[in-house]
């Protein structure tokens, strides 16, 4: 391509990339004009004016939150890479490592934040830790997949020189995993910012999270929309910046891989009851050992025995159990509809974009913006629009689930075998038949991968909205118990929420195996 042609292509590309953001701004301003009153929507001009008038305040708060998010982002991703390497070097322990990593990732930030605040005291410890916890699993998954995505011939070459596993890991597998690492980092960037803001809710003195609480309590519409805009801009910039670095440092674009690795052979340790029991026993043992080693005050630090007594054998266990089960029913009632709505919308929109590729320039910027806005700034907006009922909770869950599903399904639809599409085209099959018989089957693995990865995100969304808005469910119960120093309820609700997320994850994974096995058998016939 000549320099003139390249410049022309760039000029064509820039307007197309700008089309989505421009349409978003126009629709946003139109919504602000259409909605009566100043208590629901602040338009982009109002947000820009508010930000200009309070630039110093927002800049200082953003500096504080970004520092904690960046530190947690670094620590969490280093931990993810170390865990993935350890799982690869110890294949017999891979299922255990993956199971424990998932269980910790399912711990609700709503509950771990107050617990960490007691452990750390004043300072940024909770913010950094929650940011690290929010990102490590989303990087661990693709990195482990990438470490395996190495041509066998390369490994055979290393073996022929008498080198072992560590040499393969360092010289071959690590290089092959770089694009997958970048994919994980892009997914993790908005999550780190969210974790830092949730940590600020638990007693920090400054930061974006503190401004969000103040805006919610004061029903300050302009401040609420400004916080959401700034948080979205930061997250989108981080997502795009990592992609830009990858395009200049790597020879191939980073794939978007959301699927956890398939561990073991045959039925696998984690996929069966034996694996669940092993992970549970090891998790309980580590929980007890950490409390003993740390020597924490038993009034605050509850062990497995304390939780068992609180729920089963101790005085008042029946009442405690009834309270937690009622909260669990409330949370599940909002979780289910939002989860399924987000999955359906993401998959449906991916199909629409595949059939009409020109819509991608409009759809993708909007989708990225929705995902990039941290949930803690989305909650007050939903409260303003739809109130504090279950509809708002389900809507927020749907937003959290929607974007990963859209990206994963698009990736799967694009991976339909080219030879099959060529054969169908030669017989005059249209886009509809190609979609039905080639692209949708190719999308199934990516769809179920997104369904699994969306489970912890959905649980996080519903507990946060219960904490900050509705005042019902497990999220609200954990927040109230933390404020009252009712650590028996707090630790028990934390365990219950983590177990709920892990069980739903396992159910989705089991459905995935059944569906894909049936599909594979039909393809083989």
Q: For residue range 211-242, list pLDDT tens digits in order.
A: 888 887 777 888 888 888 888 888 878 877 88
The answer on 479 and 394 residing in a single domain is yes
Tokens 């139109």 found at: 30
The answer on 330 and 209 residing in a single domain is no
Say if 32 falls within a structural domain: no
- Domain end among 234, 257, 280: 257
- pLDDT the model gives residue 314: 87
* Residue 312 CB partners (closer than 8 Å, separation 6+): 321
CATH number where 145 lies? 1.10.3720.10
**What is the three-class DSSP state of 422?**
helix
The answer on 460 and 394 residing in a single domain is yes
As a whole number, mean pLDDT of residues 2-25 equals 55
For the chain, percent of residues with pLDDT exceeding 70: 74
The answer on 194 and 301 residing in a single domain is no
- pLDDT the model gives residue 72: 94
**What is the three-class DSSP state of 506?**
helix
Number of domains composing the chain? 2
Q: Please, which pLDDT band fits residue 200 given cuts at 50, 70 and 90?
A: confident
Whether 1 has a pLDDT exceeding 50, the answer reads no
Say if 36 falls within a structural domain: no
The answer on 425 and 308 residing in a single domain is yes
As a whole number, mean pLDDT of residues 269-273 equals 50
Q: Please, which pLDDT band fits residue 109 given cuts at 50, 70 and 90?
A: confident
- pLDDT the model gives residue 260: 46
**Hey, what's the torsion of the CAs at 76, 81, 85, 87, to 10 degrees?**
50
Range in 116-120, 126-130, 152-156, 225-229 the model is least confident about: 152-156
- Whole-number Cα distances in Å, 57 to 3, 52, 82, 227, 234: 45, 10, 38, 11, 16
Dist. CA 520–CA 259, nearest whole Å: 18
User: Which tokens go with 306?
Assistant: 């304390």
Q: Bigger pLDDT: 2 or 419?
A: 419
Whether 169 has a pLDDT exceeding 80, the answer reads no
Say if 2 falls within a structural domain: no
The answer on 323 and 251 residing in a single domain is no
Range in 254-258, 321-325, 341-345, 418-422 the model is least confident about: 254-258
Dist. CA 314–CA 321, nearest whole Å: 11
For 299-357, the pLDDT digits (tens) are: 888 999 999 999 998 899 999 999 999 999 988 888 889 999 999 998 888 888 888 87
Say if 25 falls within a structural domain: no
Say if 204 falls within a structural domain: yes
Quote the mean pLDDT of the chain: 78
Task: Give me the phi and psi of 325, to 5 degrees please.
Answer: -70, -35
The answer on 318 and 204 residing in a single domain is no
User: Which tokens go with 183?
Assistant: 């994919």
Closest CA to 87 of 148, 29, 39: 148
- pLDDT the model gives residue 307: 92
Q: Bigger pLDDT: 298 or 28?
A: 298
As a whole number, mean pLDDT of residues 271-290 equals 81
- pLDDT the model gives residue 15: 55
- pLDDT the model gives residue 265: 39
Q: Bigger pLDDT: 3 or 517?
A: 517
Closest CA to 32 of 18, 16, 49: 49
The answer on 328 and 226 residing in a single domain is no
User: Which tokens go with 89?
Assistant: 């070097």
Q: Which domain holds residue 480?
A: 296-525
Tokens 């910039």 found at: 237
Whether 383 has a pLDDT exceeding 70, the answer reads no
- pLDDT the model gives residue 321: 92
The answer on 209 and 352 residing in a single domain is no
- Domain end among 257, 285, 315: 257
The answer on 347 and 232 residing in a single domain is no
Degrees, nearest 5: CA angle 295-276-502: 80
Q: Please, which pLDDT band fits residue 269 given cuts at 50, 70 and 90?
A: very low
**Hey, what's the torsion of the CAs at 385, 386, 387, 393, to 10 degrees?**
-120
Residue 62: is it exposed, middle or buried by C-beta count within 10 angstroms (0-12/13-18/19+)? buried
Is residue 454 within 8 Å of residue 400, measured between CB atoms? yes
Say if 15 falls within a structural domain: no
For the chain, percent of residues with pLDDT exceeding 90: 13
Q: Please, which pLDDT band fits residue 158 given cuts at 50, 70 and 90?
A: low
Dist. CA 343–CA 347, nearest whole Å: 6
* Segments in 309-389 forming alpha helices (H): 317-355, 360-372, 375-386
Dist. CA 111–CA 130, nearest whole Å: 11
Say if 288 falls within a structural domain: no
- pLDDT the model gives residue 67: 93
The answer on 193 and 62 residing in a single domain is yes
Say if 207 falls within a structural domain: yes
Whether 5 has a pLDDT exceeding 50, the answer reads no
What does the DSSP 8-state code read for residue 271? T
Q: Bigger pLDDT: 60 or 468?
A: 60
Instruction: Spell out the SS3 assignment of 28-96.
Output: HHHHHHHCCCCCCCCCHHHHHHHHHHCHHHHHHHHHHHHHHHHHHHHHHHHHHHHHHHHHHHCHHHHHH
Dist. CA 397–CA 380, nearest whole Å: 14
The answer on 248 and 308 residing in a single domain is no
Tokens 């519903």 found at: 462
């Amino acid at each position: 391509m000549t320099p003139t042609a390249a410049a022309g292509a760039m000029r064509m590309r820039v307007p197309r990339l700008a089309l989505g953001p421009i349409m978003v701004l126009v629709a946003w301003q139109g919504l602000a004009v259409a909605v009566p009153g100043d208590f629901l929507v602040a338009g982009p001009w109002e947000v820009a004016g508010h930000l200009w008038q309070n630039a110093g305040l927002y800049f200082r708060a953003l500096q504080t939150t970004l520092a904690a998010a960046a530190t947690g982002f670094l620590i969490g991703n280093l931990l993810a890479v170390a865990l993935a390497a350890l799982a690869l070097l110890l294949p017999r322990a891979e299922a255990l490592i993956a199971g424990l990593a998932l269980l910790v990732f399912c711990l609700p930030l709503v509950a771990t934040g107050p617990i960490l605040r007691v452990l750390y005291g004043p300072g940024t410890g909770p913010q950094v830790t929650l940011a690290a916890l929010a990102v490590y699993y989303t990087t661990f998954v693709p990195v482990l997949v990438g470490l395996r995505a190495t041509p066998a011939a390369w490994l055979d070459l290393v073996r022929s020189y008498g080198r072992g596993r560590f040499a393969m890991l360092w010289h071959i597998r690590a290089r092959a995993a770089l694009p997958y690492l970048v994919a994980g980092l892009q997914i993790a960037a908005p999550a780190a910012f969210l974790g830092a803001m949730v940590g600020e809710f638990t007693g920090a003195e400054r930061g974006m999270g503190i401004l969000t609480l103040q805006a919610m309590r004061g029903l300050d519409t302009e401040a609420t929309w400004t916080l959401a805009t700034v948080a979205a801009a930061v997250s989108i910039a981080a997502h795009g910046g990592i992609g830009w670095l990858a395009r200049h440092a790597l020879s191939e674009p980073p794939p978007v891989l959301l699927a956890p690795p398939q561990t073991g052979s045959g039925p696998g340790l984690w996929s069966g009851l034996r694996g669940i029991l092993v992970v549970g026993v090891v998790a309980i043992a580590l929980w007890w050992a950490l409390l003993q080693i740390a020597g924490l005050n038993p009034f605050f630090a509850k062990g497995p025995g304390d939780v068992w007594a609180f729920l089963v054998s101790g005085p008042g266990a029946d009442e405690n159990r009834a309270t937690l089960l009622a909260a669990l029913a409330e949370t599940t009632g909002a979780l289910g509809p939002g989860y399924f709505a987000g999955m359906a919308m993401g998959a449906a929109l991916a199909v629409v974009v595949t059939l009409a590729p020109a819509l991608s320039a409009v759809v993708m910027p909007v989708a990225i913006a929705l995902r990039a806005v941290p949930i803690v700034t989305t909650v007050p907006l939903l409260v303003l629009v739809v109130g504090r009922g279950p509809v708002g909770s389900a809507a927020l869950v749907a937003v959290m689930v929607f974007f990963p599903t859209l990206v994963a399904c698009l990736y799967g639809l694009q991976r339909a075998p080219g030879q099959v599409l060529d054969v169908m085209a030669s017989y005059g099959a249209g886009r509809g038949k190609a979609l039905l018989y080639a692209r949708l089957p190719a999308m199934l693995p990516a769809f179920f991968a997104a369904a699994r990865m969306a489970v912890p995100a959905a649980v996080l969304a519903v507990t946060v909205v219960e904490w900050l808005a509705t005042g019902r469910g497990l999220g609200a119960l954990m927040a109230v118990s933390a404020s009252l120093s009712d650590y028996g309820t707090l630790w028990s609700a934390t365990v219950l929420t983590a177990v709920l997320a892990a069980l739903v994850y396992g159910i989705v994974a089991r459905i995935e195996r059944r569906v894909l096995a049936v599909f594979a058998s039909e393809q083989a016939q």
